[in-house]
């Protein structure tokens, strides 16, 4: 038996060596991030305190067990004692854990109260989870009125399809953690988030901010952050939300106040431009080019890039009666979605031009041939 244990011990040490080898690649991958906010550092500290408490208790308990296993064995001729009760001991090991737990509960309560205090925010951003993307609305402050949808970056979206032999290394550490439109926030401001969802429950999580919170349809949750340093912070949806749950990342770009001002100006300029272009007549070619891009980001995950879909859950668009039939029904489907299915209402997600473009694209791609839809028609239906 001793021989056997030695052999296993060697194997075990080998496995540990394997662990160490893999771990040395990036030590940060072993532990929670300290993050970039006061909150995230407080959470990290709590995590480390409770971790060390567990380690110390573990050493005592496992130490006693291992000592006993080594020494109190029949093969060494050890005779069993017959004690089986000790009220003193029972009290000791009830009281000591209670003391440890109370001393743990005090700092935890302090951090929790601070995390839940969303008062005195400098600005508010509404976050809406949608299968499978995020929508951001700037409610007040400099960027009031800015609103956009943030989806998995198209390059990543192509690389993650089943059976694609994609070179993932080129994305370095951002594979599946890159979006088309990141959430941009200023440093040095208390930002309040209002979280909700359009369809199912999602959860908004950026580890470096130190928390996650569920986004629940019909309800509004609150959270807040105060980022000190400019940087790019990545996270993803943390609540199972259907087929593409693993493919709805979050990217937060924190900019210095002056850079943030410039970004806001750019956004407002772009919005004005989009408004103006929605008024004019678009050619079919313009709509098709724009429509293909919109389709890839918003529709291809379910209806597939070639429009074949995955029936019956996700119907084919190529040759579909709606896509080649009356334009009004097609517009209604895209604008209002279909309840009880994963088909979302895109009214609040796409602007007039994007919606007109994607509908036109669906009506004229993959052998479909039907009418062109102009942005003005969408505007009229809102």
**Residue ranges in 251-310 that form contacts with another protein under rule CB under 8 A:** 310
Residue 286 Cβ vs another protein, minimum distance, rounded to whole Å? 34
The residue range among 119-127, 175-183, 250-258, 268-276 that interacts with another protein, by the rule CB under 8 A, is 175-183
Residue 29 Cβ vs another protein, minimum distance, rounded to whole Å? 4
Question: Cβ contacts of residue 157 below 8 Å, gap of 6+?
Answer: 151, 247, 296, 297, 300, 301
- Report strand pairing: 190-197 vs 123-130: parallel
Report 315-344 residues binding another protein (CB under 8 A).
Answer: 340-342
- Candidates 201, 293, 304, 318: give the one binding another protein (CB under 8 A): 201
Report 9-68 residues binding another protein (CB under 8 A).
Answer: 11-12, 15, 18-19, 22-23, 25-26, 28-33, 42-43, 46-47, 50-51, 53-54, 57-58, 61-62, 64-65, 68
Smaller CB separation from another protein, 187 or 236: 236
Write the CA distances from 176 to 89, 201, 299, 381, integer angstroms.
53, 20, 17, 35
- Candidates 125, 176, 353, 355: give the one binding another protein (CB under 8 A): 176
In the numeric block, the tokens 């009214």 are attached to: 347
Report 91-130 residues binding another protein (CB under 8 A).
Answer: 93-94, 97-98, 101, 104-105, 108-109, 111-113, 115-116
Total residues at interface with another protein (CB under 8 A): 116
Residue 342 Cβ vs another protein, minimum distance, rounded to whole Å? 6
Smaller CB separation from another protein, 133 or 290: 133
- Candidates 181, 221, 336, 371: give the one binding another protein (CB under 8 A): 221
Q: Cβ of 297: how many Cβ atoms within 10 Å?
A: 22
Cβ–Cβ under 8 Å, residues 290 and 277: no
Question: Cβ contacts of residue 230 below 8 Å, gap of 6+?
Answer: 187, 254, 255, 256, 259
Q: Give, as one character, the DSSP assignment of residue 335.
A: H
Residue 188 binding another protein, by CB under 8 A: no
- Closest of 19, 53, 48 to residue 33, by C-alpha: 48
Smaller CB separation from another protein, 96 or 380: 96
- Closest of 341, 356, 261 to residue 302, by C-alpha: 341
- Candidates 126, 154, 158, 174: give the one binding another protein (CB under 8 A): 174
Q: Which two tokens stand for residue 217?
A: 């349809």
- Closest of 283, 305, 253 to residue 356, by C-alpha: 283
- Closest of 88, 134, 110 to residue 349, by C-alpha: 134
- Candidates 20, 83, 119, 120: give the one binding another protein (CB under 8 A): 83
Smaller CB separation from another protein, 163 or 367: 163
Smaller CB separation from another protein, 65 or 328: 65
Smaller CB separation from another protein, 168 or 232: 168
Residue 69 binding another protein, by CB under 8 A: yes
d(CA 142, CA 245): 32
Of the CA atoms within 13 Å of residue 50, those in its CB half-sphere come to: 13
């Amino acid at each position: 038996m001793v021989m056997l244990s030695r052999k296993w011990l060697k194997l075990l040490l080998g496995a540990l060596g394997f662990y160490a080898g893999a771990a040395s690649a990036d030590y940060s991958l072993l532990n929670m991030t300290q993050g970039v906010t006061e909150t995230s550092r407080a959470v990290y500290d709590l995590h480390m305190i409770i971790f060390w408490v567990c380690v110390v208790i573990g050493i005592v308990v496992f130490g006693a067990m291992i000592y006993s296993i080594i020494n109190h064995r029949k093969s060494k001729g050890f005779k069993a004692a017959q004690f089986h009760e000790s009220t003193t001991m029972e009290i000791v090991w009830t009281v000591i854990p209670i003391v440890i737990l109370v001393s743990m509960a005090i700092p935890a309560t302090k951090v929790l109260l601070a995390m839940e205090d969303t008062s005195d925010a400098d600005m508010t951003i509404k976050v809406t989870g949608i299968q499978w993307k995020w929508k951001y609305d700037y409610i007040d402050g400099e960027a009031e009125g800015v609103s956009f949808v943030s989806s998995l970056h198209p390059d990543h979206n192509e690389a993650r399809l089943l059976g694609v032999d994609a070179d993932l290394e080129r994305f370095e550490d951002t594979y599946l953690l890159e979006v088309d439109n990141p959430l941009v926030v200023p440093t040095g401001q208390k930002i309040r988030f209002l979280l909700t969802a359009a369809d199912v429950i999602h959860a908004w999580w950026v580890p470096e901010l130190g928390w996650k919170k569920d986004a629940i349809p019909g309800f509004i949750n609150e959270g807040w952050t105060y980022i000190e340093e400019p940087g790019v912070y990545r996270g993803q949806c943390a609540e199972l939300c259907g087929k593409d749950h693993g493919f709805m990342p979050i990217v937060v770009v924190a900019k210095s106040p002056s850079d943030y001002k410039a970004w806001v100006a750019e956004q407002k300029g772009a919005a004005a431009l989009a408004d103006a272009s929605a008024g004019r007549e678009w050619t079919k070619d313009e709509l098709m080019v724009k429509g293909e891009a919109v389709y890839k980001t918003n529709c291809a995950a379910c209806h597939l890039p070639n429009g074949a879909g995955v029936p019956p859950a996700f119907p084919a668009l190529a040759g579909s009666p709606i896509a080649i039939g009356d334009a009004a029904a097609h517009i209604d489907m895209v604008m209002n979605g279909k309840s009880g299915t994963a088909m979302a209402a895109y009214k609040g997600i796409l602007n007039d031009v994007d919606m007109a473009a994607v509908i036109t694209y669906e009506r004229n791609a993959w052998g479909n041939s039907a009418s062109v839809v102009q942005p003005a028609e969408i505007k009229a239906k809102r």
